[in-house]
Structure 1
Amino acid sequence: RDALCRKRGRYLLQRAVDAAASQRAELRCPPQSSLFWWSVEKNEKLLQFWETYILIMETLEGNQIHVIKPVLPKLNSLYEHAISGKKGCWLFHPSWHMCIYKRMFESENKTLTKEGILHFLELYETKHLPNSLEFLEFVIGPLMDALSESSLYSRTQGQLMGACPPLGLRLQKFLATYLMLLPDEEKGSFLLKFIQKMASRHWCAVPILFLSMALAYIPACKILGTDGLHALRDVLQCTMITHQILLRGAAQCYLLQTAMHLTDVEKVSLPDVASFLMSLRPEESLRRDTMLWMEVRAEACFMFIGYLLILLVATMILLAADVEEMRNKYSGKSNIEWIELKAFLNPLLDVLMKLGSNAYIPTLKTDKSLQLLLKLLQTRSLKCSNPQDALIPEVVNLCLQVSWKKVPSIKNFIFSLTNASIHNLQKTNCEEEPKLKEQIKKVASMASLTVVCEVMNQKPEVHLESLPSVDALKKFISFSQYNQVLKKPSYVEEKSSLCEEPTSQGWGKIVARYVHDQWICLRFILTKFHTAEPVLEDKLLELSSSTVERLTEILQAALEALTILPSDHVLPVFDSMKVLVPKLLDSAESLCIEAFDLAWKIISSLSNTQLIFWSNLKAFVQFIFATEVLAVAASAKGQAYAKIKEIIFKLIDMSTTRTGVFNIVISHCCRSWIFSTFDDRSFDFFVLIFYSTNRDDHYVRVCAIKFLCLLDGSNILHKMFMEDIVIKLLDKDELVSRSRTRYYANSLQHRIKNRIWQTLLVLLPKLDQNFLCETLNKVFQAGFVNNQASVKYFIEWIIILSLHKYPCFLNKFWDCFCYDEEKLKTSICTFLSVLSHFDIIIQNTSEKKPALKKALIVVLQWCFNHNFSVRLYALIALKKIWGMCKMLHVEEFEALTPVIESSLQQVENMHGAGNARRNWQRIQDHFFFATFHPLRDYSLETIFYTLPRLSELAEDEWISLCKFDRFTDIPLPATFQWYHSRTELLDLKPSDWSQQDMGSNLVEMDSQTEWTDVQKKIIPWKNSTPSLDLELVFQDRAAKLGKSNSRLIVVASLIDKPTNLGGLCRTSEIFGASALVVSSLHYVQDKQFQHLSVSAEQWLPLIEVKPSQLVDYLQQKKTEGYTIIGVEQTAKSFDLTEYCFPEKSLLLLGNEHEGIPANLIHHLDVCVEIPQQGIIRSLNVHVSGALLIWEYTRQQVIKQKQQK
């Protein structure tokens, strides 16, 4: 890793090659250990090989890819010389090649690392390399280490989202090819080492995903045994445990496919297979009735089963059943006997049949049987299993699917269970210290009541409400004590001190579950019967005082429950507060606000807890944004209203760091508001702009846009809501424009503005004339801003549609051309583009001639503008408008016919192949003028997919139409017509207006001949000095290195751009200036400075002189004998070609814009100017300085030669 050691090694290798070639020596070693050999017969070939090798190694010492890339094709010639075509063996030891790749893998330049990996991976596609142990070890070692860098797996320019990156594709081909070329006895050991390497170090999610994909694409061959399955299980359980859930799920699927394709079933036992299957998460990969499950089912090795763990047994029984079903299906049997399944389930059935009659059946056996039954019922369902699911709902669900005749028996069982549970809970214990048996009985009874409530809630078709026990259940829950905590039983306290702590912790969980079950029952009573009062006949709008007191008491108990329950048990409390808060918001607002704060505190504290956070957030959103809560809060506009708005902003902040948060918010809001009437219009605006750009970020915007599409402009509330959104969006656009006058493409500002105008375009047809009259001026003002292309197109489109619908606004549009030229210089093209669609604008106008006359006058004025781009846009508009005039045969314009037509003809017949002709052709072919139709192309697909794609917006901003189709939570009406883009526009490709330099890739470089000229940067041996020399002063170090040190001082204190200073620093060091003076040494830390200086500041003295100190500094240098030379155009300036520089010269450079201030010109001894031939009268300050520095150096070199 030490650069000096590498340089010494190359030097010794070069000396060895030169000596062997000059002496024509015969050097032979044993073939197995031969690292270097020489033969007189192959002198030329050997010399060519080693010269190429040393050239490559020298070039790789740099970091500039444009210097290194031309040398890479020479690697192919190395392999041609290194492999014997007749014997099929290595002539040179493979470790020489490994040195090249290892150097590339360890480069600081990640682009070079990626090029090296890609070149190595494609070797086995193009070359037939002999088998080598060194290559195998290199793949397992340095190559896999290099593949661990996530940034290498980025897509290339032009690849669509979802496409596999080049490195992933190359890795698939390499692994399959390399494994197939290995001898059969080595394939298994190599693959085992490869998988063990994946489990032996920390890997990020992205590399593991693509390595797993490469393993899955290896052609089926049975080479993995028990060790291989264990290694795959280690990857699943250790390496991937902390990975992002989506990437982890995909990698699990690939590893399961790897196991199926590569495992030798004769070498593995069933427990090994089962253990591997259990390490796959059902909710992420292996789930019943998925394609992957079908693939596993087809494997014969999973047909037999033994008695293992409960989950394992359930999974394997279902796999066996599916295998039997598939076999019978293929064999054509109509009567399925299910022999294997009966063999598995008969023992379970025997135990279950004896539960009600055999009192002596072992408890452990019954528990295990019930657990297995529950797990079978859960696993058979398509939804993933929940460990907290109860057995009874699954049984009820199964009975409803199988036979309705079983329902009466279910009702009888639930009746008995409810009565027994209430009896157990009402039983009072006279003892001070309750026994464990009694407390467990209470816990089980409360859990049973919870199950009964859930069954009644989820299965209304069973009609359990008619049971007498349900009334008893309602009364018991209504009058029971809330948050009742069970005392710790005496049995627990008698335990020894060694067991007390874990048992106490376990009892705390039991108590938490007991309180949780209480709130599930109470939630059922509140939601099903609207109040916890035992008498429910009172349905007056005004709640009685006793009811309010009772509800207040329950809400206080809910707040208490939130403080004592763990976070994964608070869902029923949130649901209960959702019912209570709307009823108490007027009478107990402070208590409701406290409920909001406490609920938010729980959510914000869970932001890093993946398993609990999302379910709690969903319940919290349903509570805070319930329609009833919002309606009451908005009508009062009190503290609760302000608190809800505060929570909205907190959710927005959370969504910037936690992806997917706003998905839940917008989904609930749109579904709950879509058919309801609401008067609050302050909550939905932020949804359209603020959301994460990761995950499935389009979900939020698709939901909001479909919601807006369903609004009715004739509905007063909908109309007020839309107008409020439009005003807020325009204000937001203005705020973004003021915050930054210029912004980069695909920056956050660009994305926000693009989304704003997309939304405005969707709402435009629903706005009436009066409102549009008030807001159109803001749209025009937005057109004056310097916008990116996509935003510009949307603004132009809105203006065209507005003027088309209401031609009376044309006078406002003409006013936009009346501003002074300074304001219009960057924005006039926007309004000229609108005029190019003037036929659409005046389509509904009865008097077209006056409008055409006004348009023609306006356009003709801008055809004479000094700016070339403005003239182009004016000419394209003139061509369109003049064509309309000719069609309407306007007599008033006949006098202008010769002038206009000759001008347009001259433009069309422009001679030469210069930029003017090319740009005129491009702008005519541009989609916005040639293909786009503002009326026919008005559709969701054009707004959200086609136009962003054609305007070269980042791909993650394109929302395809299929995402609108897939999002079915909010269906668009069947009569919705604005959906699809026209085929003519959809088939267009981007970049019609601006060319794009795609660059060259390695494949193109490989096609070059092996003697391609390359740029070789030679670093002299004497420059490879130890790092201790950096502590020497600059002058001593320069002398030691033999560097020429002139008497020229370059003063750049007036320059403030880091790029210019970095370039001057590099130029000054190269030509040997004695010092560079800058206004602040902080510039040295600037990345732009460092990028241009390429470490020149380490070899050149830098002096800090503030601009205010320049006069004193110049006077001091005058006293030291320096001539002060200014680079400025003055009346008495000397021509640079005629001026003779003194040896002690001080060069003062001016500012980028102002040049040298007048107060400093008086202190100059002489001014020098650079002779110019062109029209533009100023050079870049760095270029000017470089020219004078070179001229000074040239004159000094000539003087030194003359003196010699």
Structure 2
Amino acid sequence: MKLVKKHRWFLNKSPIFGNQESCQKRTKIYVKSLFKLYSGIIIKKCRNEVLLCIYEHLIHFVNVSEAPELVIKFINTCHARLSNLKKDFYFKKILINFVNTIYSVEYLSKSKESAFLMSDSLLEYSKAYPVVRLHMITAIKKIIKCDDIYGGSEWLTTIVDIYLQGVITTKDERTEYFICQEFLEINKSFVFENIINISEQSNPNIINTACRIISLDAILDLAKNSVAKVIISLRTEYLKFFKKRYFPNSETHIKKLRITQALLLILPYVKEFSKEAIQIGVFLLDCILEEANQPCIKQIFNLVLIILLQGAAFRGIEYIKRVMSMSAQVSPSIQIGLMPTFYHLALFDTEDPMRSFSAVMSLVLPWTMGSQFKVRIYAQDIIKRLIHEAKENNYDDFLNKYQHLESCIDTSIKATGPIKLSHLNSLTEKTLLEPKDPSLSIAIDKYLENATKNDNQQDKTEALNLNIQKKITPWKNISEGNDIPTNSEFILVATLVDKPQNLGGLSRTCEAFGIPNLVLNDAKIVQNKEFQSLSMSSEGWINITEIKIKDLREHIMDYKREGYFVVGAEQTTNSIKLNEFRFPRKTVLILGNEKTGIAANLIPILDKCIEIPQFGQTRSLNVHVAGATIIWEYVKEHSLRPNHMTA
């Protein structure tokens, strides 16, 4: 330790002794001996506290050495040693000093290539130590300002990697994250470069936010001169997740969102009708037509397409229509996602607006009578808006052809009832992007709410004659004071059922038909993703209890003592056809295992076994389907009366 301090003093003071020539000779000799000494210490298993003294003065070693090969060799030795160091308090400081050294102007002038090679491994360390990433991007941001000397665009891959990294918050961590964002919003004068001085005390969310802002700023700097390279880099990163299924707020979702946001922000540097503009447009259309993305990403795709194509609106509309016609299948979600794009492009056409209006109308009009409710309501609203715009701008030819549709759509919307378009896409009002017409959702809401206020008797009679697809809205029935039936004396026992998908489906069936009691072998199954994909959160509205298979026989006897009639869904020699069976009010239904059915030792203690009449060759139904069928028969018999009908 004393030797290290002695040599550290020499590095700081030695150049001032003697004349310049003698000082340079002494420095060269001393640097070689210093290299041998430090290399020996680095290779040995010394404590991090000792090694920190060396890493703190790596930059001085780089400055005084005039032998690039010696410096590179020593830095590579220090880099290799990092992987074997103990990950303690000193390790973070060692990493920071090493990063500041290899991204310094002095070291890059000696070996830029080795700095590139070390970037990937340093990014791996930064996952555990976010402040390292902050030092990296801060140094690289300074480097790219000297593009002619150090090749700023060559750092693009590293910059994008830093931009995409960061904490992916879970539900429990999100509260803390939003508090941090609130802090940043309040302190608008906060300078992110200053965070280095307080990095050890800073919240990781603030550091990660600073990293992303600095890296995004660097991306925009590079886009000014090399936008094609930036587009290629962002597209390459996006393709790593192309067509991969993901969940909201997952790592894939957040990274996709950051990439699309970066694409949106570099658009000012993309020339109209340029090769880069075409590349982005084709790429985004592929993503829209081939992927299932979260609504926030779809909204950004729409906005980017509108901005790119606004200078050639009609050609853009026709191109998208042609691509859609060549696609194997255009799903309802794609139709809904592209409708705002068509609408806004039509508004942007200054050369011949009626041409674009007619092009959008010919595409959207058939969708107003489609089988999918969401598509119909969106298409109807787009047509009403086009007609309204045509009235304001006196497009008489367009109005003569299409104005009569307005009254048809009014009748349809009145029969449908009030609904918010933002809710159709599970979006809040804050997440809607409306570049041309910011009042889109507000106006739609007002229109649809007012549409039902002035109904006269004739309108109601016409509405009754319309058969329009509409989902059940249980909260509406509750608010109107209807008597919603419950089947609290029916218990579904699915202890013998194994598969999470079947259990999730049974949970959803119970909730839908008012069956409040579901028994499972393991209550923790409700946390399984496969269970949740079928249950649709129904487990939160019913009582789920746990009975182990080994205890099932004893609990069946308890049910019988409590006055329940225990029924098993099983094909036996004495089983009764479902259509011939009458359910007692207090009924327990036992479902069998998917493969083996109800165990032989349980069948004798059941009050009855029932089977569903079948006419095919397989002679078997999925346990979820069988359970739902039996529950429906019970509900019909005990709960379904005319005043209980909800659909």
- Scaled by the length of structure 2, the TM-score of the pair is 0.61
Aligned to 1:815: 322
CA distance in 2 between counterparts of 1:801 and 1:675 reads 32
Aligned to 1:495: none
Aligned to 1:657: 128
* Match status 1:792 vs 2:298: yes
- After TM superposition, the structure 1 = structure 2 runs for residues 1054-1133 of structure 1, keeping only pairs within 5 Å, are 1056-1060=501-505, 1086-1088=525-527, 1093-1097=544-548, 1099-1101=551-553, 1122-1123=573-574
Aligned to 2:101: 623
Compared CA separation, residues 806 and 559, structure 1 to 2 (3 A): farther
When the two chains are superposed, the root-mean-square deviation of aligned CA atoms in Å is 5.3
- Select the residue among 570, 574, 578 that pairs with 2:54: 570
CA distance in 2 between counterparts of 1:651 and 1:525 reads 36
Q: 1:455-481 CA deviation, whole Å, 9 max, x = no partner?
A: xxxxxxxxxxxxxxxxxxxxxxxxxxx
Q: Does the 8 Å CA contact 1:835/1:877 hold for their aligned counterparts?
A: no
Q: Does the 8 Å CA contact 1:1071/1:1189 hold for their aligned counterparts?
A: no
Compared CA separation, residues 765 and 600, structure 1 to 2 (3 A): farther
SS at match of 1:684: helix
Compared CA separation, residues 903 and 510, structure 1 to 2 (3 A): same
Aligned to 2:171: none
Aligned to 2:144: 673
Q: 1:1033-1066 CA deviation, whole Å, 9 max, x = no partner?
A: xxxxxxxxxxxx99x9997468743435789999
Aligned to 2:375: 870
Aligned to 1:730: 235
* Match status 1:764 vs 2:267: yes
SS at match of 1:1100: helix
Aligned to 1:692: 167
Aligned to 2:24: 533
CA distance in 2 between counterparts of 1:732 and 1:1071 reads 47
Q: Does the 8 Å CA contact 1:1059/1:1088 hold for their aligned counterparts?
A: no
Aligned to 1:917: 418
SS at match of 2:612: strand
Q: Specify which structure has the bigger relative contact order, considering alpha-carbon pairs within 8 angstroms and separated by 6 or more residues.
A: 2
Compared CA separation, residues 1139 and 619, structure 1 to 2 (3 A): closer
CA distance in 1 between counterparts of 2:369 and 2:21 reads 76
- After TM superposition, the structure 1 = structure 2 runs for residues 982-1021 of structure 1, keeping only pairs within 5 Å, are none
Following superposition, the deviation at residue 827 of structure 1 comes to 2.2
CA distance in 1 between counterparts of 2:368 and 2:129 reads 52
Following superposition, the deviation at residue 1123 of structure 1 comes to 4.0
Q: Please tell me the residue identity of whatever aligns with 2:259.
A: I
Q: Please tell me the residue identity of whatever aligns with 1:917.
A: P
Q: Does the 8 Å CA contact 1:804/1:841 hold for their aligned counterparts?
A: yes
CA distance in 2 between counterparts of 1:623 and 1:743 reads 40
Following superposition, the deviation at residue 791 of structure 1 comes to 1.7
CA distance in 2 between counterparts of 1:1049 and 1:607 reads 49
CA distance in 2 between counterparts of 1:897 and 1:551 reads 86
Aligned to 1:743: 247
SS at match of 1:691: coil
Aligned to 2:342: 835
Compared CA separation, residues 859 and 1146, structure 1 to 2 (3 A): closer
Q: Does the 8 Å CA contact 1:828/1:870 hold for their aligned counterparts?
A: yes
Q: Does the 8 Å CA contact 2:302/2:340 hold for their aligned counterparts?
A: yes
Q: Does the 8 Å CA contact 2:241/2:252 hold for their aligned counterparts?
A: yes
CA distance in 1 between counterparts of 2:216 and 2:63 reads 30
CA distance in 2 between counterparts of 1:856 and 1:1072 reads 51
SS at match of 1:787: coil
Following superposition, the deviation at residue 799 of structure 1 comes to 1.1
CA distance in 2 between counterparts of 1:613 and 1:630 reads 24
- After TM superposition, the structure 1 = structure 2 runs for residues 451-530 of structure 1, keeping only pairs within 5 Å, are 509-521=1-13
Compared CA separation, residues 821 and 800, structure 1 to 2 (3 A): same
Compared CA separation, residues 754 and 1051, structure 1 to 2 (3 A): same
Aligned to 1:605: 85
Following superposition, the deviation at residue 1122 of structure 1 comes to 4.6
Q: Please tell me the residue identity of whatever aligns with 2:247.
A: Y
Q: 1:276-332 CA deviation, whole Å, 9 max, x = no partner?
A: xxxxxxxxxxxxxxxxxxxxxxxxxxxxxxxxxxxxxxxxxxxxxxxxxxxxxxxxx
SS at match of 1:902: helix
Following superposition, the deviation at residue 860 of structure 1 comes to 1.4
Compared CA separation, residues 576 and 1049, structure 1 to 2 (3 A): closer
Aligned to 1:933: 435
Aligned to 1:801: 307
Following superposition, the deviation at residue 803 of structure 1 comes to 1.0
Q: Please tell me the residue identity of whatever aligns with 2:301.
A: I
Q: 1:995-1049 CA deviation, whole Å, 9 max, x = no partner?
A: 9x9xxxxxxxxxxxxxxxxxxx9xxxxxxxxxxxxxxxxxxxxxxxxxxx99x99
Q: Does the 8 Å CA contact 1:520/1:572 hold for their aligned counterparts?
A: no
- After TM superposition, the structure 1 = structure 2 runs for residues 881-960 of structure 1, keeping only pairs within 5 Å, are 881-890=386-395, 892-906=397-411, 910=414, 916-919=417-420, 932-933=434-435
- After TM superposition, the structure 1 = structure 2 runs for residues 314-333 of structure 1, keeping only pairs within 5 Å, are none
Following superposition, the deviation at residue 700 of structure 1 comes to 0.8
Compared CA separation, residues 575 and 1084, structure 1 to 2 (3 A): same
CA distance in 1 between counterparts of 2:341 and 2:517 reads 57
Aligned to 1:351: none
Instruction: Give unpaired runs (5+ residues) of structure 2.
Output: 169-203, 440-472, 476-487, 532-538, 555-569, 596-608, 615-622, 640-647
Q: 1:874-919 CA deviation, whole Å, 9 max, x = no partner?
A: 23322333334445544553452343222344356x15xx6x4233
SS at match of 1:666: helix
Q: Does the 8 Å CA contact 1:723/1:771 hold for their aligned counterparts?
A: yes
- Select the residue among 348, 357, 367 that pairs with 1:852: 357
Compared CA separation, residues 593 and 839, structure 1 to 2 (3 A): farther
Compared CA separation, residues 1054 and 791, structure 1 to 2 (3 A): closer
SS at match of 2:388: helix
Compared CA separation, residues 835 and 1063, structure 1 to 2 (3 A): closer
Following superposition, the deviation at residue 699 of structure 1 comes to 0.8
CA distance in 1 between counterparts of 2:21 and 2:293 reads 55
Q: Please tell me the residue identity of whatever aligns with 2:420.
A: N
Q: Please tell me the residue identity of whatever aligns with 1:825.
A: P
Following superposition, the deviation at residue 766 of structure 1 comes to 1.0
Structure showing greater Rg = 1
CA distance in 2 between counterparts of 1:804 and 1:530 reads 68
Compared CA separation, residues 621 and 840, structure 1 to 2 (3 A): farther
Aligned to 1:880: 385
How many matched pairs? 489
Compared CA separation, residues 1097 and 855, structure 1 to 2 (3 A): same
Q: Please tell me the residue identity of whatever aligns with 1:514.
A: K
Q: Please tell me the residue identity of whatever aligns with 1:855.
A: V
Q: Does the 8 Å CA contact 2:137/2:162 hold for their aligned counterparts?
A: yes
Following superposition, the deviation at residue 686 of structure 1 comes to 0.5
Following superposition, the deviation at residue 572 of structure 1 comes to 4.7
Following superposition, the deviation at residue 804 of structure 1 comes to 1.8
CA distance in 2 between counterparts of 1:1192 and 1:905 reads 40
Following superposition, the deviation at residue 633 of structure 1 comes to 5.0
Following superposition, the deviation at residue 1188 of structure 1 comes to 6.6
CA distance in 2 between counterparts of 1:531 and 1:730 reads 56
